[in-house]
């Protein structure tokens, strides 16, 4: 994992965007947040680099956050 988060959201987070309390990265949806948390209840969940699970950084105004690109290569943000 990079030591610093690569995303930042200055705007108030809406109902879908969320910040990971552990690695401080921002995600477009709780689904994308869940994707970067791996492990099970026995060992505990840990963060992985969002890029390593197929996500990319999207920009909206002065904010950036992780999204999942769609299959056709276009960025996808389910809003």
Nearer to Zn ion, 35 or 63 (CB): 35
Instruction: Produce one character per residue of 18-30: b if its CB has 16 or more CB atoms within 10 Å, e if not.
Output: bbbeebebbbbbe
Angle (CA) 39 72 74, round 5°: 85
Measured from the CB of residue 16, what is the shortest distance to Zn ion in angstroms?
17
Nearer to Zn ion, 20 or 60 (CB): 20
Using CB under 5 A, which of 18, 23, 55, 67 touches Zn ion? 23
By the criterion CB under 5 A, which residues form the site for Zn ion?
20, 22-23, 47
């Amino acid at each position: 994992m990079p030591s610093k988060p690569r995303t930042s959201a200055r705007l108030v987070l809406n109902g879908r965007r969320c910040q990971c309390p552990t690695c401080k990265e921002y995600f477009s949806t709780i689904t994308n947040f869940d994707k970067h948390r791996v492990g099970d209840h026995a060992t505990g969940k840990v963060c992985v680099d969002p890029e390593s699970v197929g996500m990319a950084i999207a920009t909206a105004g002065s904010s950036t956050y992780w999204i999942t690109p769609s299959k056709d290569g276009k960025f996808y943000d389910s809003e």
